[in-house]
Amino acid sequence: MSSEGAESAFDDQGFERISQGFASLKVCLPESALNELAREVIARLASQQSKARKASDNFSDEAINNLSHALIGSDSAASVSIVTDLRESGATIDEVYLNALAPAARRLGDWWTEDRASFAQVTIGVARIYGIMHALRAEFPINLDPDRRIAAFATTPGEDHTLGVSMAADLCRKEGWEIYLKLGLDHDALVAELATGDFPIIGLSAGQKESLPALIRLIVALRISNPRAQILVAGRFVSDIADTIVLTGADAAATDMPGAVAAMERLWGDVLTEGGQRAQN
């Protein structure tokens, strides 16, 4: 996930949309599920921190403390300013991710555990971290072979019906796609599989209403572990949760196979466009 230090291409509108959307998930999720979602972000980022090299002076304990306070403060622009200043001063995207956002997330988790920050404050902080990662998404490198249309399809953990996603995979293969099926895995195993595969497109099933919390948790985990992936949510349940899918930052949604195939084509076009822009920077 390395990248040279460069002027930051921060997507301000994307940050506002995704951070506010994440915070709005409290409307459609029970508090226990929202609690689990916040812990998911903190744990995923904290686990990434172990990959970091020794922190530079830009990421002192004081700097992490300042970022953590900004993340839960009243001014949403404060944390954005800190991150963009780091990029513009030469910090790589890896350094921002692993040496700034990851330890700040861990610190928020510590404050939560120690009752130094409320659940509401931590939720705001986590939402802003999620928004920042989305806003910096285009800066993360991607391994791309434009001649190989690769995607992974997976069922949401807890769903037993795999016929639909298997049929969708077969249909896409007939259209020239290289599809990797990930079926019957639990949450952590599935995230690990999809993160290490470096898939440019990930298709997730949405077959039943009861799977909504698990689906949202999966999307959020994948956004952190594979920021550049284009995420498609497909299934008969999609029409009922379209507004919620938008809040998670998923890239596309479809209710039937023709719609899913068309969405895949659009997403592949986005992958090629973003990959070309990245190569020019």
Per-residue pLDDT at 5: 47
Per-residue pLDDT at 49: 65
Q: Which residues contact 244 (CB under 8 A, 6 or more apart)?
A: 25, 28, 212, 216
Enumerate the CATH 3.40.50.280 domain ranges in the chain, comma separated. 150-280
Per-residue pLDDT at 3: 47
Q: Is residue 262 predicted with pLDDT exceeding 60?
A: yes
Mean pLDDT of 38-56: 75
Per-residue pLDDT at 9: 77
- Picking from 244, 263, 260, 264, the residue whose alpha carbon sits closest to that of residue 25 is 244
Both tokens of 140, joined, read 């993360």
Which range is least confidently modeled, 25-29, 82-86, 127-131, 216-220?
A: 25-29
- In tens, the pLDDT along 145-160 reads 999 999 999 999 988 8
- In tens, the pLDDT along 173-231 reads 999 999 999 999 999 999 999 988 779 999 999 888 888 999 999 999 999 998 889 99
Q: Kindly report the CATH class assigned to 150-280.
A: alpha beta
Q: How far is CA 263 from CA 196, 257, 259, 268, in A?
A: 24, 10, 6, 9
Nearest 5°: the CA angle 259, 218, 37 is: 130
Per-residue pLDDT at 8: 56
- In tens, the pLDDT along 3-41 reads 454 455 789 999 999 999 999 999 889 999 999 999 999
Q: Is residue 81 predicted with pLDDT exceeding 80?
A: yes
Per-residue pLDDT at 59: 79
Per-residue pLDDT at 195: 87
Q: Is residue 277 predicted with pLDDT exceeding 90?
A: no
What is the distance between the alpha carbons of residues 118 and 74, in angstroms, rounded to a whole number?
14
Per-residue pLDDT at 209: 83
Secondary structure letter of residue 175 according to DSSP: T
The mean of the pLDDT values for the chain is: 89
Q: Is residue 132 predicted with pLDDT exceeding 90?
A: yes
